[in-house]
Structure 1
Amino acid sequence: MTAPTVNLSSVIKAYDVRGTVPDQIDARVVRAVGAAFAEVVVLPESPSGTTPRAVVGHDMRPSSPELSQAFAQGLASRGVDVTLVGLCSTDGLYFASGSLGVPGAMFTASHNPAQYNGIKMCRAGARPVGQDSGLTAIRDLAQGWLDAGEVPEGSGTVGAVDEQDLLKAYAQHLRTLVDLTGGRRLKVVVDAGNGMGGFTAPAVLGDDAGLPALPLDVVPMYFELDGTFPNHEANPLDPKNLVDLQRAVPEHGADLGLAFDGDADRCFVVDEKGDPVSPSAVTAMVARREIAKEIRAGREPVVIHNLITSRAVPEIIAADGGHPVRTRVGHSFIKEQMATEGAVFGGEHSAHYYFREFWSADTGMLAAMHVLAALAEQDRPLSELAAEYEKYVASGEINSTVDDAAATTEKVVAAVSETAAAEGETLEIDRLDGVTVFHPASAAQPMWWFNLRASNTEPLLRLNAEGADEATMVAVRDRVLGLVRGEA
């Protein structure tokens, strides 16, 4: 009996594989994707005369062990030797790929609900595999095999599969990048959301991996690995998932709180009062530290930021002697710019932080360590320290369902341009990613800007707005939303 046809276009997205188990993703599907990953990425990258190798890790979801094993079987069927690192965070998989110098695959659906799983793939050195860098070819090759009913055997010998624990090495590497031993002692509440932060935080910030204790008192929240997420979704970008942490920090008299998403590649921060510190402020804070390090080393500091981060980010980068480079939203664009520019650091509004010293990959844990170090090196509370970086007021991302995103966007641009012209005001408009309309401060109006981007997968327009003060931001936000939703 022929297996049912699977449409891989529905689960292979711009940057990764993501779908529900078992109706969209099962062992048969991921074995085909693993074999295709070998053909498209691993074998062509393998140096002549050497045995091709790859590394595979997985998160705590119930389906992850079986799926990662099936993927490894697909790799091995093409003659690839596979190292299974077992449980790890996504940045732990990037560490494995970077330190071993081999392509890798991480089984995770990040912050998605329990019925989902997926795959994040990378080339050797944690270089991204996206739609334009191999993922489309992997999809098409695997789809052909699935349509034919089986993955053909490779022409060579079957690769070996072994296991290796890299958690201690991962923790040791991060500790070489940020010194947390010299500052004042801090109490930190960590909300792992039952995700992989509960696995990595005790190793990096504590002594579970056998490393020396740090001057940190860690209060754990939801460290139990549970892919059903019994306490709240492991998605700190949604404010409702930060509520428990915001309550716990002042209750424990802690200096700050950290929240990780499901695969622990993103980190969110709250101050001693339980108030969120924006990812833009964290970007600027970490950038300041990395810029100073670059200048001490005699290098010109370049820092990447996406176009949704606060205007304060490039202003602070430039004021500290760095060169800010603005890019589109999305990790593949950030990583590409990191490599092109030789950037030391990159940050996104979504709390993804990228480090040249970490193979230009994103790691929430390393960003968290920088925040801890910045706080410990001075005596003020985090709310005062963060205020230096929170110069403006942002709306956060607001989604609107529209029939025609392009037409709606042009309607908004035309309307605000007409108003500005009537008032004698100057607007700067660019289309790097969607459309960004920027109003520099003038005698009549404070600074404001907004960006409208269409979703790649849904009939949505995403609005981000920022103003020099609350009233300005609210006025811009409400005007644009009214135009988008046909209410103005």
Structure 2
Amino acid sequence: MKFGTSGLRGLSVDLKGRASALYVTAFGRYLLDSGMVRQGDAILIGQDFRDSSPEIAANCADALAGLGFEIRDCGRVPTPALALNALQEKAACLMVTGSHIPADRNGIKFYRPDGEIDKADEAAITAAATELDIAGFTFETRHTGPKNQSGECLAVFRDRNAGLLPAHALAGLKIGVYQHSTVARDLLVDLLEHFGAKVVPFGRSETFVPVDTEAVSDETILKLKDVARQHNLDALVSADGDGDRPLVADETGMPLRGDLLGLITANFLGAETVVTPVTSNSGIEAAGHFSVIRTRVGSPFVISGMQDALAAGGVHVAGFEANGGVLIANDFNVNDHMLRALPTRDCFVPILATLSLAASRRQSLSVIAASHHLPFAAADRLENFPVETSARLMAYLRSGSASLTAFLQPIGEVGSLSDIDGLRVTLTDRRITHFRPSGNAPEMRCYVEAESPAAAAALLQTSLERIRWWAKAN
């Protein structure tokens, strides 16, 4: 078990057992010891559609009930819906989800009564879990039968989004909703129809389908293209497993990059300060009327950057990640609707903002994407790439200019470097290749930028091949 870029992650078989109860007990004790909550306070629990999630959620409920908390079951709801409901009630919450990673893995996202936990909280929870483990922690199933709050949780979140656009704002658009196994699947259809769109749901699955919105698989893209052509769609939308990362594809079925969705949303909101990780497109700074703060990858770092911006006197502060998830630091007035702060990733606002732009301009999403004139970017990952191998590779690349030059010899010459998170190399010809181990899974990620889609694809392929070569040789 370890905390990654967003939440605790591990093998499903482990989390179904003692491990989930151990970490959730540590979380509960940390909240009590720090004075953030008291015994008898409510804690909300949500989950995704993974086969392992109900058992893990039950373990979490039992462990927290054993500490004297009132447990409220929000069922299978999007993470941002759970977080919003908990914020309004000033209650802690946790979401059982592995987000986009394969079904043999799962995770838990933790929230204090005032929002998502930060890196200091993660360290404290890990230390408390270690102490409990050493002391011989045991877990007993209690069958708590928590209060059901799923309907209220979804209603609060729907109301937040239902006033975001004018009535019939999406009338005339025909939109496909790739439902697969995301907990956002029914609410997406509901909201798009609410705004007047004609909706074509497809691909609903009773087994878990991992969809990574930051590195959409070729198989998924082929599915989107086929459905777009078959139904003559204007756009297709979806989300990852827990509904905090959006997927928006244009009229051809080609997904738009998440950082473009974030950029469109920042402009839609009228943000004055934008916080985004170093992996987001290098053209963001010149693409809007806002200042930009760059961070490491992961929502805790984006949230910390937003908090720093607010503390420095910033107003209208928003953030987004390269996966498209948008975070809102303070209240925004949008279309005469008060959009309350929600400093955790959300897929719904970026989806609605992007579709409303297409509707208001009466332009296709492919034209809108091209109009932003961002450098062409691509990203992918090597799955089942041992964490130890990633660590050795990064140590080698950082060991000196000779090592990095040798590694990049088939790719290009080093112009400049950024070591904020992973190693981001700007080559002398201004192409960018960025090597970064995943914080959530045994994966090695690569992000690139180039002057054309073909050049970006070629650079990505060469960079990934170079990683494979090094791993075999070392």
TM-score, normalised by the number of residues in structure 2: 0.81
Separation (CA, whole Å) in 1 of partners of 2:40 and 2:239: 36
What residue is the counterpart of 1:3 in the other structure? none
Cα pair distance change 1:385/1:12, threshold 3 Å = closer
Which residue of 226, 230, 238 maps to 2:216? 238
Write the mapping of 1:154-193 to structure 2, written as runs, cut at 5 A.
161-164=146-149, 165=151, 166-179=153-166, 181-193=168-180
Tell me the matched-pair count.
440
Shift of 1:149: 4.6
Separation (CA, whole Å) in 2 of partners of 1:482 and 1:26: 36
Cα pair distance change 1:44/1:378, threshold 3 Å = same
What residue is the counterpart of 1:35 in the other structure? 25
Separation (CA, whole Å) in 2 of partners of 1:393 and 1:65: 41
1:156-187: per-residue Cα shift (whole Å, max 9, x none)?
xxx99422222111101122344453454311
Give the number of the structure whose alpha-carbon radius of gyration is greater: 1
Separation (CA, whole Å) in 2 of partners of 1:81 and 1:250: 50
What residue is the counterpart of 1:325 in the other structure? 293
Work out whether residues 307 and 326 of structure 1, in 8 Å CA contact, stay in contact via their aligned partners in 2. yes
Work out whether residues 403 and 459 of structure 1, in 8 Å CA contact, stay in contact via their aligned partners in 2. no
Work out whether residues 5 and 297 of structure 2, in 8 Å CA contact, stay in contact via their aligned partners in 1. no
What residue is the counterpart of 1:138 in the other structure? 125
Amino acid across the alignment from 1:176: G
Shift of 1:84: 1.6
Cα pair distance change 1:78/1:110, threshold 3 Å = same
Work out whether residues 355 and 361 of structure 1, in 8 Å CA contact, stay in contact via their aligned partners in 2. yes
Shift of 1:258: 0.6
Which residue of 72, 88, 109 maps to 1:83? 72
- The alignment's C-alpha RMSD in Å is 3.4
What residue is the counterpart of 1:252 in the other structure? 231
1:63-115: per-residue Cα shift (whole Å, max 9, x none)?
32333233122212222222221221112211222222211101112223334
Work out whether residues 246 and 257 of structure 1, in 8 Å CA contact, stay in contact via their aligned partners in 2. no
**Residue 217 in 1 paired to residue 198 in 2?**
yes
What residue is the counterpart of 1:313 in the other structure? 284
Work out whether residues 93 and 113 of structure 2, in 8 Å CA contact, stay in contact via their aligned partners in 1. yes
Separation (CA, whole Å) in 2 of partners of 1:394 and 1:351: 14
What residue is the counterpart of 2:244 in the other structure? 265
Work out whether residues 5 and 298 of structure 2, in 8 Å CA contact, stay in contact via their aligned partners in 1. no
TM-score, normalised by the number of residues in structure 1: 0.79
Structure with greater contact order relative to length (CA < 8 Å, sep ≥ 6): 2
Separation (CA, whole Å) in 2 of partners of 1:414 and 1:311: 26
Amino acid across the alignment from 1:266: R
Work out whether residues 284 and 374 of structure 2, in 8 Å CA contact, stay in contact via their aligned partners in 1. no
Cα pair distance change 1:430/1:384, threshold 3 Å = same
What residue is the counterpart of 1:380 in the other structure? 363
Work out whether residues 31 and 37 of structure 2, in 8 Å CA contact, stay in contact via their aligned partners in 1. no
Separation (CA, whole Å) in 1 of partners of 2:81 and 2:115: 10
1:427-460: per-residue Cα shift (whole Å, max 9, x none)?
33332122323358xxxx5x32222234457887
Cα pair distance change 1:438/1:133, threshold 3 Å = same
Separation (CA, whole Å) in 2 of partners of 1:18 and 1:458: 8
Work out whether residues 261 and 267 of structure 1, in 8 Å CA contact, stay in contact via their aligned partners in 2. yes
What residue is the counterpart of 1:20 in the other structure? 11
**Residue 408 in 1 paired to residue 387 in 2?**
no
Gaps of 5+ in 1: 1-9, 154-158, 207-212, 295-300
What residue is the counterpart of 1:5 in the other structure? none
